[in-house]
Amino acid sequence: MSSRVEKKVSKKALNASFWRWWYGNLTCFTHEHMQTFGYMWSLFQVIDDLYETTEEKGEKLRAYWPFFNTEPQIGCIVVGITAGLEEARANGDPNVDDEMINGIRAGLMGPLAGIGDSLIVGTYIPVLLAVALGLSEGGSVIGALFYIVVWNATSIYFQYTIFMRGYELGGTAVDIIVGDQATALRGAVVLLGQIIVGAINGAWVNITTPLEFKNAQGEVFLNLQGQLNGIMPGLLSIGFVLLCWWLMAKKNMKPLTVMLLMILIAFVGVLIGFFDPQLHY
Amino acid sequence: MSSRVEKKVSKKALNASFWRWWYGNLTCFTHEHMQTFGYMWSLFQVIDDLYETTEEKGEKLRAYWPFFNTEPQIGCIVVGITAGLEEARANGDPNVDDEMINGIRAGLMGPLAGIGDSLIVGTYIPVLLAVALGLSEGGSVIGALFYIVVWNATSIYFQYTIFMRGYELGGTAVDIIVGDQATALRGAVVLLGQIIVGAINGAWVNITTPLEFKNAQGEVFLNLQGQLNGIMPGLLSIGFVLLCWWLMAKKNMKPLTVMLLMILIAFVGVLIGFFDPQLHY
Amino acid sequence: MSSRVEKKVSKKALNASFWRWWYGNLTCFTHEHMQTFGYMWSLFQVIDDLYETTEEKGEKLRAYWPFFNTEPQIGCIVVGITAGLEEARANGDPNVDDEMINGIRAGLMGPLAGIGDSLIVGTYIPVLLAVALGLSEGGSVIGALFYIVVWNATSIYFQYTIFMRGYELGGTAVDIIVGDQATALRGAVVLLGQIIVGAINGAWVNITTPLEFKNAQGEVFLNLQGQLNGIMPGLLSIGFVLLCWWLMAKKNMKPLTVMLLMILIAFVGVLIGFFDPQLHY
Amino acid sequence: MQISLIEAILLGVMSVLAGSTPAALGTTVGNYTLNRPLIGGLFVGLILGDVPGAIQIAIPMQVLYIALVTPGGTVAADLRAVSYIGIPLAYVAVKGAGLDFGSEQAGGLAVSIAALVGTVGTVMFYGTAMMNLFWQHWGWAELEKNNFKVLPIVDAVLPLITHFVISFIPTVLMTYYGQSVVTDIQQALPMDGLIMKTMFTVGNILPAVGIAILLKSVVDKASDLIPYAFGFVISKSLGLTLVAASLVAAIFALFHYRMEMAKLSSGSGHSKYDEEDI
Amino acid sequence: MQISLIEAILLGVMSVLAGSTPAALGTTVGNYTLNRPLIGGLFVGLILGDVPGAIQIAIPMQVLYIALVTPGGTVAADLRAVSYIGIPLAYVAVKGAGLDFGSEQAGGLAVSIAALVGTVGTVMFYGTAMMNLFWQHWGWAELEKNNFKVLPIVDAVLPLITHFVISFIPTVLMTYYGQSVVTDIQQALPMDGLIMKTMFTVGNILPAVGIAILLKSVVDKASDLIPYAFGFVISKSLGLTLVAASLVAAIFALFHYRMEMAKLSSGSGHSKYDEEDI
Amino acid sequence: MQISLIEAILLGVMSVLAGSTPAALGTTVGNYTLNRPLIGGLFVGLILGDVPGAIQIAIPMQVLYIALVTPGGTVAADLRAVSYIGIPLAYVAVKGAGLDFGSEQAGGLAVSIAALVGTVGTVMFYGTAMMNLFWQHWGWAELEKNNFKVLPIVDAVLPLITHFVISFIPTVLMTYYGQSVVTDIQQALPMDGLIMKTMFTVGNILPAVGIAILLKSVVDKASDLIPYAFGFVISKSLGLTLVAASLVAAIFALFHYRMEMAKLSSGSGHSKYDEEDI
Ligand SMILES: OC[C@H]1O[C@H](O)[C@@H](O)[C@@H](O)[C@@H]1O
Ligand SMILES: OC[C@H]1O[C@H](O)[C@@H](O)[C@@H](O)[C@@H]1O
Ligand SMILES: OC[C@H]1O[C@H](O)[C@@H](O)[C@@H](O)[C@@H]1O
């Protein structure tokens, strides 16, 4: 591993990668893949720089096809880390494979979303706005300008910094930990990812049914969701994910088909009253 | 393991086993052993078929002496699985022993009780009844007949099917997993059983004391259960089980003696006010 | 390990150790080290008895420098156990080192505090007092005398007994478990200690901020603690411990400096409104 | 209108067949079919000769108890008393008052009588479970001697004696002599009396014996109590359902399995264990 | 006073740039700067020619929504509608009523209009996310052919069509035709109608597909589902936050690591693994 | 009636002997005997010369604080002030008002005075704990030099100075000059003032230093922080008691043990580890 011809991502490609992510992390958001396309657009700058053939590039990019979602600003560090890992993989590190990359992505996306949403979006921004509100009292433009400048300057600086730190970390981590140790670590990372995918499932999927049976007096005498909770809270939320997983992994169904099926299920469910978001304007 | 003379449970014995369980799972219910006798009556058909001598039969049956309880309809599968395991054991599989059988029984009885009680008893039956109630409005006999037919037909079909599936599963599982792997699995099953016995303890034993101290004005100034919860919720519930376990495992007390002791404790506890179910008609 | 010249703590030293602890466990209580000085005063009787040189004594005593806190009466057993361990260590047992001693201390102090506080302080004493209150109705001295005698007699007897039991246990435990088994056990004890230090952190450190932002009408529109809980409950409580740990372990700061820094932080925090115990007479 | 002795006896038989949990006709048919008030209405109607009327009485009772679950043998209300004491008594009361069976007053009456006899059923349930202890303990003694013939006797025959004493006789009495006997019995066996308190307390404590026996069968050495205690904590302190608890248990079982496999594979060259077939 | 078509178009453009979550100007600038009502007030003021007035209208709205977090794409209120429909409409209403912009009545009016249009923004958000599915699925098909050029087109260009349809046109209409159009639209697309119900239900179910894809990428064999189910339980049954859940996950990862290292070290002589560098 | 200086001094001494947590007479005798109001009543009675009267005053106070636990040095109310300031002041007040000691009014008065002085005790407790920091830090410095003689001095002698300043003097003053001094002191040291706020905040933060020191003693490498963080989560996020948390910790310790044993046994032939003796 020492006498190899070191491949290195160019500074230009790294910068491009950063700015693509910074701009595009949520521009094509869907509930199905969330930030995946922004991620791929960004990471492709790195892959493009490291590999020669189209086939290779396509193959490496596949690691980034699955679902990705995190608080995108603190999430810069994940993109940076995987940029570093791609570099290591391009240099022939056998421990970096798709499963490990997905373990790391899954293991980090959840906790970082929790931290980013709470600390940046839920605390830092509100505090800045609270100060700005004071400055704008009576209609002054000062508060708004203050927020625009301070927020954007600090946020962009922070994002750029952790992206580059992440890149260095990703590269050196696999350099320091070699051989058996790396294999062990790889397994640990994948396990972590597996558990956190479950936790993400719990936190971000919330499928419930409002189905109830009422007697003549209109009193509810049977509440389906309540009975399901008796088995285990969130049964539908894990059940739907497992169903989709099973269709894709065991029945070789395409994601698109599964998605259309889910839309159908939603439609039918709404029709028969099994689903109802119960919103009003 | 390949060139052995395969023993096989006769279809007749299997069917007898099923129907004994189906009928007798709760007919001699007690709070001490719950469904154990129903289980033994059923499983003995299988054992009787597989072994020659009375001694052998008696010895094998011992695996089914301990406490058993689950939702008995979905629980058919447990009985089926152990029927399959008995067959494997009769064919000399060294990994199937009493401890493993009890690990499997304990590991399955709890979760299946949870699923069966919630899904069959708490959801399926009420939904059928809700429909039947609609059909019987105004006193019509249709609803009642509908329920009798649909419930019994679907329920019995379901029970028979999973019983037989369980039997096949039990047999093949130990066939596929051989040697070291089976030993490892055996340990895992026992561990699972140990944890779930604890969880069952938490779910099904609920011993509390209502003892309180009151001042002259009748206001409570000391609540014993509250103080015990400060150590750990459910202290009495685990304490009693551990006490019984210790009397039997370490002091070689007979279950009957322990049971009589517990009845005595209950009586004395009620007398001194330590126990009080606080029920009224 | 068999043909060694056995060192043994004299009965006199053991007794002295007990009474020092019994008397001095909380006499110099602080929030920083809590019962550490009482512990050291007591244990030093044992160390003094077992070692010759001042250097050795000083070195062995270091194992008892860290924070110690438990319910001191039931906690007698911890002191006893470590007395026994010191004896084993003085006899050359290689598995007893500072880390293991601290693992045991940490692993026991937490649960024993929970048991002692709830059972002795929260249940036994109140029950005795409740009885005494009855006896003292109308101003009689009987109740008070009853409490003084019964409480002190039973409590001191209990403490002495478990101290001596602990001592025997500590000594024999390391004698029975030898070689590889002891090494494995050592690791398990340290791991247990690590987890329980975390649990103690959760139970005994409760740092929160009351900082809120209000609008013109005085309604709160932003509550800092609530946002922090969104990341993880108790973030400040673990954050402060980790900060102190990092300053000492990684920046080689002295405990005294860290403590002064914390006092400074408390002061500044109070000044800017980040901290406020919100108490009133 | 009065219930005749023959009718009362038939109702008594039904209550035996239909007990909650230990029904003489078993779980599927006895407990989950005949025991339900709606079906009870049908049979009471057949016995008293007025199916539509009895079903109308049964409907509000069935609504009241529609989602009744009895986890781990803790029975909040045993419907055998609701179905085969409550429905007949309510039927007689409604008829006596000259009310329409489908009217709101009839429904109200039915529900209040269901409440009155509801706990009577619970007493029957606990009584049955206690009396069955005798048969079982005779059974254990015989099994010790490898006398397997006792299995059907203990499980299916002897409990009929229990049912006769605990279920049949009271049901016949209460339906024959009417509502007043119910309250008489309740006064004779008050819930705050020593007997009832002890019976229900024993019902709470006895599962501890059974679970201890089970525990013994999966515990080999003292350290095996640790996983057991862990299971208790996740169930009682954390409130996990049994299914959720078993998923938590599964990750430990998985680790145990991998650890054992690792022990075997180490040194032997193949570093990847095989879990495909599990 | 009336909003002119030019002004309405400019407001429509702003709403596109400032969408919650998928903003045409990205997260930092679009969502977390322009989307916030206080900043919206500034831009609405610039468009309508009265910055102080618009900012005063914006302030109570900003206070209302100050700590808005949208975890995992569940958007309680999309502020683009508050900022670029709500503020202009409120501005016009306050001006029309001859109120002082800083007065309490003006504030009350602002807040009630914010509430009126708040869910409109949410509908826009879910509509955007659904329509983007088309671009993404075309994108996947192209990526299968290793056509990487589509990445910027899918991620940055095509969503502008979505924005035009879902965000621009309604904003222009609502600000140009005034408050009545808002309620017209709400009547045309009622929340208890099939379309809206299905759209929001799909929004709830679709993450299941994405997470299943992710699950596939970290699951190799059936037993790998155990850690996943464990993660689900600690999150859903125990209510751990994602950070707390990841700390629990970490201890299992640590055990896995140590186990693997143990497997390697055993026999080879060094019994102490090295975790210093992790 | 007035409390004489001698009496006040004796009460001061008792308050020193009987402090909650750091009592000069230690835990069993000081804190859990003399500190309790019922026993306080006896000694106040002996000092003031009316045991039955003082005990009657003490009874309602004792009821109020009967189940007081102070986990981890968080003291909700330090009873030394209740027993040796509250009881004497209440005694004087009741006598002054000419009330019967066993009357309801006397009880009410006693309880309200107990409430008044309750937090005074808490201030004493935190003050004592803070002042003891000086002795301890001198102690550490001496221990660095292997001067073990300081142990009894630090642990038993020097805290008496603390007690004299923090406990003795205030108690003498408050009992001698009466109830008004209590409120004077409370006004001089207001709870919303900088000093009190800082003192209590320091009391909250300082355990972090101690626990960090402990943490250092069981943490070797960065990855050891994972079990620690896990322990924190099960305690704080899941609300497990320390006993329940230690049972959860035990299953991990068990796995660690088995893993280490497996490491040793593999290859060496015996596949079954031995946990009998643990
Ligand atoms: O909970 C499992 C099981 O426990 C007991 O056997 C009875 O109460 C059953 O009705 C129940 O299904
Ligand atoms: O929760 C993480 C992340 O999820 C989605 O991508 C959006 O709702 C973001 O605003 C959020 O930060
Ligand atoms: O909680 C353990 C322990 O903590 C501190 O030392 C004091 O508050 C004691 O009273 C208590 O028993």
Using the Cβ of B281 and the Cβ atoms of chain F, whether some distance falls under 8 Å is answered with no
Confidence bin at E253 (pLDDT 50/70/90): very high
For residues D168 and D70, the model is more confident at D168
**Interchain contact, A115 vs C231, CB within 8 Å:** yes
Same domain, F259 and F208: no
Structure tokens belonging to residue A224: 């389906």
Alpha helices (H) in F49-144, listed in sequence order: 51-64, 79-81, 87-96, 104-144
**Interchain contact, D247 vs E233, CB within 8 Å:** yes
Q: pLDDT tens digit string along B188-212?
A: 999 999 999 999 999 999 999 999 8
Same domain, D109 and D227: no
Q: How far is the CA of C104 from the centre of ligand 3 (A)?
A: 18
Q: What's the CA gap between B47 and B50, in Å, rounded?
A: 5
Q: What's the CA gap between E83 and E121, in Å, rounded?
A: 10
Taking CA atoms only, the protein residue closest to ligand 3 atom 10 is F70
* Selection from D120, D119, D128 nearest residue D24 by Cα: D128
Same domain, F45 and F155: yes
Same domain, F270 and F170: no
Residue E272 has pLDDT above 90, yes or no: no
Whole-number pLDDT of residue F275:
53
Q: Which residues from E are below 8 Å from C95, CB to CB?
A: none
Domain that holds residue F86: 5-218
Domain tally for chain F? 2
Confidence bin at A1 (pLDDT 50/70/90): very low
Determine B/A contact with 3+ CB pairs under 8 A as the test: yes
Whole-number pLDDT of residue A55:
95
Confidence bin at C183 (pLDDT 50/70/90): confident
Whole-number pLDDT of residue D266:
59
Same domain, F33 and F113: yes
Q: How many CB atoms lie within 10 A of CB F159?
A: 29
Final residue of a structural domain among D177, D193, D218: D218
**Are the C-beta atoms of residues F92 and F104 closer than 8 Å to each other?**
no
Q: How far is the CA of C78 from the centre of ligand 2 (A)?
A: 49
**Are the C-beta atoms of residues F127 and F166 closer than 8 Å to each other?**
yes
Same domain, E41 and E175: yes
For residues E266 and B10, the model is more confident at B10
**Interchain contact, B122 vs A232, CB within 8 Å:** no
Q: How far is the CA of F213 from the centre of ligand 3 (A)?
A: 18
Q: Which residues from D are below 8 Å from E266, CB to CB?
A: 266-267
Whole-number pLDDT of residue A208:
96
Q: At what angle do helices A54-61 and A36-50 cross, to 10 degrees?
A: 140
Confidence bin at C3 (pLDDT 50/70/90): very low
* Mean pLDDT value of segment B21-37: 96
Q: What's the CA gap between B60 and B98, in Å, rounded?
A: 8
Distance from CA of F80 to the nearest CA of C (A): 15
Which residues 134-193 of C have a C-beta within 8 angstroms of F?
Answer: 136-141, 143-145, 147-148, 151-152, 155-156, 159, 176-177, 180-181, 183-185, 187-193
Cβ partners under 8 Å of residue F277, min gap 6: C176, C177
**Interchain contact, D259 vs F254, CB within 8 Å:** no
Q: Which residues from C are below 8 Å from B272, CB to CB?
A: none
Confidence bin at E257 (pLDDT 50/70/90): very high
Q: Which residues from D are below 8 Å from E256, CB to CB?
A: 255, 258
* Mean pLDDT value of segment C123-149: 93
Same domain, F36 and F113: yes
Same domain, E246 and E170: no
Which of C32, C37, C39, C117 best tests ligand 3's pocket when mutated (most atoms within 8 Å of CB)?
Answer: C117
Q: Three-state secondary structure along B157-190?
A: HHHHHHHHHHHHHHHHHHHHCCHHHHHHHHHHHH
Confidence bin at F239 (pLDDT 50/70/90): very high
Could you tell me if the CB of F21 is within 6 A of ligand 3?
yes
Q: How far is the CA of B72 from the centre of ligand 1 (A)?
A: 7
Q: CA separation (Å) from C156 to C75, C114, C152, C162?
A: 13, 20, 6, 10
Ligand 2: list residues with CB < 6 Å: A 26, 34-35, 69-71, 113, 116-117; E 21, 70-73
Confidence bin at D35 (pLDDT 50/70/90): very high
Residue of B117, B121, B123 to mutate for A, most A C-beta atoms under 10 A: B123
Phi/psi region, residue F98 (left: phi>0; alpha: psi -120 to 50; beta: rest), is left
Q: pLDDT tens digit string along A213-233?
A: 877 677 777 888 988 999 999
Whole-number pLDDT of residue B50:
95
Q: What's the CA gap between E12 and E51, in Å, rounded?
A: 18
Whole-number pLDDT of residue A96:
85
**Are the C-beta atoms of residues C79 and C214 closer than 8 Å to each other?**
no
Residue of D42, D68, D82, D205 to mutate for B, most B C-beta atoms under 10 A: D205
Structure tokens belonging to residue B229: 């919860």
Confidence bin at E132 (pLDDT 50/70/90): very high
CA B204 to ligand 1: nearest atom: 1
Residue E76 has pLDDT above 90, yes or no: no
Q: How far is the CA of B117 from the centre of ligand 1 (A)?
A: 7
Q: Which residues from B are below 8 Å from A227, CB to CB?
A: 118-119, 122-123, 126
Q: What's the CA gap between E20 and E123, in Å, rounded?
A: 11
* Mean pLDDT value of segment E24-45: 96
Distance from CA of C2 to the nearest CA of B (A): 31
Confidence bin at E278 (pLDDT 50/70/90): very low
Taking CA atoms only, the protein residue closest to ligand 1 atom 12 is B71
Whole-number pLDDT of residue A174:
72
Residue B252 has pLDDT above 80, yes or no: yes
Q: pLDDT tens digit string along E224-241?
A: 999 999 999 999 999 999
Scanning every residue of chain C, which has its alpha carbon at the shortest distance from the alpha carbon of A120? C227
Which chains reach chain F with 3 or more Cβ–Cβ distances below 8 angstroms?
Answer: B, C, D, E
* Mean pLDDT value of segment A61-80: 96
Residue F270 has pLDDT above 50, yes or no: no
Final residue of a structural domain among D218, D241, D266: D218
Q: Which parts of chain C are beta strand (E)? A: 212-214, 220-223
Q: How many CB atoms lie within 10 A of CB E272?
A: 9
* Mean pLDDT value of segment B47-70: 95
Same domain, E40 and E98: yes
Confidence bin at F210 (pLDDT 50/70/90): very high
**Interchain contact, D259 vs F255, CB within 8 Å:** yes
Same domain, D226 and D214: no
Sign of CA dihedral F252, F256, F261, F262: positive
* Selection from E163, E107, E104, E101 nearest residue E131 by Cα: E163
Whole-number pLDDT of residue F273:
41
Which chains reach chain A with 3 or more Cβ–Cβ distances below 8 angstroms?
Answer: B, C, D, E
Same domain, E185 and E118: yes
In this complex, the residue of E64, E67, E243 whose CB is nearest that of residue C227 is E67
Structure tokens belonging to residue E270: 């060094």
- Mean pLDDT value across chain B: 92
Q: Which residues from E are below 8 Å from F264, CB to CB?
A: 266, 271
The 3-state DSSP composition of chain F as helix, strand, coil percent (nearest 5) reads 75, 0, 25
For residues A83 and C281, the model is more confident at A83
- Mean pLDDT value across chain C: 92
Q: How many CB atoms lie within 10 A of CB E157?
A: 13
Residue F274 has pLDDT above 50, yes or no: no
Give the rounded distance of the alpha carbon of A96 from its chain centre: 20
> Position B3: which residue type?
S
CA F70 to ligand 3: nearest atom: 8
Q: How many CB atoms lie within 10 A of CB E278?
A: 16
* Mean pLDDT value of segment B43-56: 96
- Mean pLDDT value across chain F: 90
Final residue of a structural domain among D190, D218, D246: D218
Provide the percentage of residues in chain E whose pLDDT is more than 90.
71
**Interchain contact, B281 vs D120, CB within 8 Å:** yes
Residue of A18, A26, A95, A117 to mutate for E, most E C-beta atoms under 10 A: A26
Residue B238 has pLDDT above 50, yes or no: yes
- Mean pLDDT value across chain A: 92
Tell me which DSSP letter residue F278 carries.
Answer: -
Structure tokens belonging to residue F208: 């972090």
Scanning every residue of chain F, which has its alpha carbon at the shortest distance from the alpha carbon of E234? F238
| DSSP SS3 for B75 | coil
Provide the percentage of residues in chain F whose pLDDT is more than 70.
95
Q: Which residues from A are below 8 Å from C272, CB to CB?
A: none
Q: pLDDT tens digit string along C187-241?
A: 999 999 999 999 999 999 999 999 988 776 777 878 899 989 999 999 999 999 9
Segments making up each domain of chain C, as ranges: 11-112+140-174, 206-271
Q: Three-state secondary structure along D180-217?
A: HHHHHHHHHCCCCCHHHHHHHHHHHHHHHHHHHHHHHH
Q: What's the CA gap between C136 and B217, in Å, rounded?
A: 17
Same domain, E137 and E229: no
Taking CA atoms only, the protein residue closest to ligand 1 atom 10 is D70
Confidence bin at E275 (pLDDT 50/70/90): low
Scanning every residue of chain D, which has its alpha carbon at the shortest distance from the alpha carbon of A219? D63
**Are the C-beta atoms of residues B171 and B88 closer than 8 Å to each other?**
yes
Residue given tokens 């929970």 in the structure block: C114
Confidence bin at E8 (pLDDT 50/70/90): very high
CA A121 to ligand 2: nearest atom: 12
Whole-number pLDDT of residue C133:
92
Whole-number pLDDT of residue E226:
97
Confidence bin at D181 (pLDDT 50/70/90): confident
pTM of the model: 0.90
Q: What's the CA gap between B20 and B29, in Å, rounded?
A: 15
- Main-chain dihedrals φ then ψ at residue A241, nearest 5 degrees: -65, -45
Residue given tokens 């002891």 in the structure block: C182
Confidence bin at B186 (pLDDT 50/70/90): confident
